[in-house]
Amino acid sequence: MREDSPRRIGRSLLALVAGFVLVLVLTLVTDAALRAAGVFPPIGQPPTDKLLVIATIYRTIYGIAGSYLTARLAPYAPMAHAVIGGVIGFILSLGGAVMAVSHPERFGAIWYPIALVILALPTAWAGGKIRTAQLAGSTAA
Helix, strand, coil in percent for the chain, rounding step 5:
80, 0, 20
Work out the percent of the chain whose per-residue pLDDT is above 90.
Answer: 79
Residue 7 pLDDT > 90, yes or no?
Answer: no
Residue 1 is predicted with a pLDDT of 46
Query: Positive or negative, the Cα torsion across 7, 11, 16, 21?
Result: positive
95-108, pLDDT tens digit by residue? 999 998 888 777 77
pLDDT tens sequence across 69-125: 999 999 999 999 999 999 999 999 999 999 988 887 777 789 999 999 999 999 999
The answer to whether the beta carbons of residues 103 and 41 sit under 8 Å apart is: no
Reported pTM? 0.90
Element (H, E) at 62: helix 49-73
Average pLDDT, the chain: 92
Amino acid at 88: I
